[in-house]
Chains A and B, each alone.
Chain A
Amino acid sequence: MSAPEDHGSEALAALLRGVPGAVLATHAERGDVTAVVDPARVLEALGFLRDDRACAFDMLMDLTAVDYLGYPGRSGPRFEVVYHLYSLERGKRLRVRAGVDAASPEIDSAISLWPAANWMEREAWDLYGIRFRGHPDLRRILLYDEFEGHPLRKDYPKERRQPLVGPRN
């Protein structure tokens, strides 16, 4: 991970120019152009990437989270929300990452930009316990309401048993 630069990507160059100071770091390892953005300005950066003509990332292909608890040699926030963007018009991809603190795992919801974020954010809430500010319907999606904890967190033991629940009505 290095100081922000454009790695020959037109979109990344536009982002660095268009939303100055929001990009904290960049890399292009294995051909995947990646920008780590300031979590407080993630919506601004994503909105720019969607609307700017040099970027035109009209599809939010994927949204997920990563728990870096105990990752060797890592300093910085425990969680990261990862957005994979695709531009249908330009056929280009970009990965955007934003850190989320363990103390208050919260980040702005991207639903206002792409409705596709709805279920993906519900899944990240369900499995990682990250709250998305402004999400209209942040319910669990893959697990049931009575499930305790968020199983993809690294401190959730795989063997943990959950209470058995009957039919809700």
Chain B
Amino acid sequence: MASDPRAILDHTLPPEQDLERDLHTEHQILNMGPSHPATHGTVKFLIELDGETIVDLDIQVGYLHRGFEKECESGTWYQAIPYTDRLNYNSAILCNLGYCLAVEKLIGIDTPERCQWLRVLAAELSRIGDHLTRTGAACLELQAMTPFLYGIEARELNWDLQEALCGARVTSNYIRIGGVKHDIPAGFAARFRETVATTRRLLADFDQVVTRNRIFVDRLKGTGVISKEDCIRYAVTGPMLRSVGVPLDLRKDEPYLTYDAVDFDVPVGEVGDNYDRYLVCVEEIHQSLRIAEQCVAKLEKLGPGPVNVDDPRVRWPAKGRVFNRMEELIQQFKSVTEGPRVPAGEAYAAVESANGELGFYVVSDGGAVPWKVRCRPPSFINLQPMPIMLRGAMLADLIPTFDFINMIGGECDR
């Protein structure tokens, strides 16, 4: 018995007896989306099919376009931060971070050490949440409910930690220009260690159910393959690029914050199929847990200290000084009503987000309102080569491929 089920359909009859030999077939266009249960963003695929084989694919994005850049150009530099939360809503802190780093680069300020460790901690928690959602949702869409619940339970615990850190679970609005909103609360470290232990246990359960599961492996192995050359030509970054064996990770290659002082590995794949992308994502969760543990240990060792830059241009003066001194009162009044002024010029800063290089290109005319805030969205750019990953594949391969590209509508459409 041949292992390939399609072998049954092979026509082994002599031509004169094979009635299906000259059967007329024609291509059909299948419209998938914009509101399809498996496209957990709002996106439309126009799929040209020959039977069940994908001949071509047109991707239509933009259904979640909210005019992010136009909104940014009409408020203060600070008012753009909550909008960045709504770019990639699975890892909002990473989006806050990318924007704030770009503005800080433009102003030319450096943040205190404690703030940088807090930012790394917050960023890694955010990345863990994103990867858990991606791998969990991918299982769900391949009809595996149990691992999805393991993933989502771990994500809930992770969100509880993020809530303890910034008061919100999804739209965190945590990173500020020149600092962060809060220091970690009392008792955070103990709670964090408990959550990490539970997360590792859940990941082990997840691994047992999924990683060597025959159905799961068959759906992922050899599907959605992309070559290294295509990744580079299409500027693909993140786990997708690492799945073809290129170890590009901005945390290692252009270390920002304190990433050069933490110990972690960059996992890479070999063939660039969905299974490699799955393995890379799961390993990145383990590496992020490692980084977060080092951050918490370091924060305990550092002891209390400032979490905001001492620069009245961008951060409010301490309340004690505002209530007792004239200059600080004026400064606070101006900060609240006008917002900080940013020197004229341009700057580009990028962070390694859960999907790849999340860059912000900011232009200022020297005023209190951004002239331009451009977000380089990894989801948008990684989605572009999807047709070449799927031409000639089966229709069912579209689901896991789309899952592991992990297009997030808010970030793709902005």
> Which of A's residues lie within 8 Å of B, judged by CB?
29-32, 34, 58-62, 64, 66-67, 71-72, 82, 84, 86, 88, 91, 93, 95, 114-116, 118-120, 127, 140-144, 151-152, 156, 158
Contact of A141 among B61, B105, B246 (CB under 8 A): B61
Q: By the criterion CB–CB under 8 Å, are B233 and A29 in contact?
A: no
Cβ-based interface call for B32 (8 A): no
For A158, what are the chain B residues with a Cβ–Cβ distance below 8 Å?
A: 70, 74
- Number of interface residues, chain B, beta carbon within 8 A: 41
Shortest CB–CB separation between residue A50 and chain B, in angstroms?
A: 10
Given contacts A62-B361, A114-B233, A142-B62, contact A32 B347 (CB under 8 A): yes
Q: By the criterion CB–CB under 8 Å, are A72 and B365 in contact?
A: yes
A62-B359, A82-B361, A116-B235 given; name 12 further pairs at CB < 8 Å.
Answer: A30-B106, A32-B347, A60-B235, A62-B361, A66-B363, A84-B348, A84-B359, A91-B253, A93-B348, A119-B381, A143-B65, A152-B70
Cβ-based interface call for B345 (8 A): yes
When C-beta atoms are compared, the residue in chain B nearest to A120 turns out to be B381
Shortest CB–CB separation between residue B196 and chain A, in angstroms?
A: 32
For A66, what are the chain B residues with a Cβ–Cβ distance below 8 Å?
A: 363, 371-372
Shortest CB–CB separation between residue B358 and chain A, in angstroms?
A: 11
Q: By the criterion CB–CB under 8 Å, are B65 and A62 in contact?
A: no
For A84, what are the chain B residues with a Cβ–Cβ distance below 8 Å?
A: 348, 359, 361, 376
Contact of B348 among A95, A115, A142, A151 (CB under 8 A): A95
Q: By the criterion CB–CB under 8 Å, are B361 and A64 in contact?
A: yes
Query: How far does the alpha carbon of A12 sit from the alpha carbon of B105 in the complex, in Å?
Result: 22
> Which of B's residues lie within 8 Å of A, judged by CB?
61-62, 65, 67, 69-70, 74, 105-106, 108, 232-235, 237, 246, 248, 253-254, 344-348, 350, 357, 359, 361, 363, 365-366, 371-372, 374, 376, 380-381, 384-385, 413-414
Query: How far does the alpha carbon of A58 sit from the alpha carbon of B413 in the complex, in Å?
Result: 26
Shortest CB–CB separation between residue A59 and chain B, in angstroms?
A: 5
For A152, what are the chain B residues with a Cβ–Cβ distance below 8 Å?
A: 69-70
When C-beta atoms are compared, the residue in chain B nearest to A115 turns out to be B233
Q: By the criterion CB–CB under 8 Å, are B414 and A142 in contact?
A: yes
26 contacts between A and B (CB under 8 A): A29-B345, A29-B347, A30-B106, A30-B347, A32-B348, A34-B346, A58-B232, A59-B235, A61-B235, A62-B235, A64-B374, A66-B363, A71-B365, A72-B366, A84-B359, A84-B361, A86-B235, A88-B232, A115-B234, A115-B385, A116-B234, A116-B381, A116-B384, A127-B69, A140-B62, A144-B62
When C-beta atoms are compared, the residue in chain B nearest to A118 turns out to be B384
Q: By the criterion CB–CB under 8 Å, are B371 and A62 in contact?
A: no
Counting from the closest, the 9 A-B pairs by CB-CB distance are A142-B62, A116-B235, A62-B376, A142-B65, A64-B374, A116-B234, A59-B235, A119-B384, A30-B347
Query: How far does the alpha carbon of A109 sit from the alpha carbon of B357 in the complex, in Å?
Result: 23
Shortest CB–CB separation between residue A2 and chain B, in angstroms?
A: 14
Q: By the criterion CB–CB under 8 Å, are B361 and A59 in contact?
A: no
Contact of A30 among B108, B248, B350 (CB under 8 A): B108
Contact of B61 among A62, A67, A86, A142 (CB under 8 A): A142
Query: How far does the alpha carbon of A48 sit from the alpha carbon of B400 in the complex, in Å?
Result: 38
Query: How far does the alpha carbon of A82 sit from the alpha carbon of B361 in the complex, in Å?
Result: 10
Query: How far does the alpha carbon of A61 sit from the alpha carbon of B381 in the complex, in Å?
Result: 9
For B108, what are the chain A residues with a Cβ–Cβ distance below 8 Å?
A: 30
When C-beta atoms are compared, the residue in chain A nearest to B232 turns out to be A58
Q: By the criterion CB–CB under 8 Å, are A88 and B248 in contact?
A: yes
Query: How far does the alpha carbon of A53 sit from the alpha carbon of B409 in the complex, in Å?
Result: 38
Shortest CB–CB separation between residue B137 and chain A, in angstroms?
A: 24
Shortest CB–CB separation between residue B373 and chain A, in angstroms?
A: 10
Query: How far does the alpha carbon of A119 sit from the alpha carbon of B345 in the complex, in Å?
Result: 27
Given contacts A30-B105, A32-B348, A151-B70, contact A119 B380 (CB under 8 A): yes
Query: How far does the alpha carbon of A31 sit from the alpha carbon of B346 in the complex, in Å?
Result: 11
When C-beta atoms are compared, the residue in chain A nearest to B71 turns out to be A158
Shortest CB–CB separation between residue A119 and chain B, in angstroms?
A: 5
For B414, what are the chain A residues with a Cβ–Cβ distance below 8 Å?
A: 142
For B235, what are the chain A residues with a Cβ–Cβ distance below 8 Å?
A: 59-62, 86, 114, 116
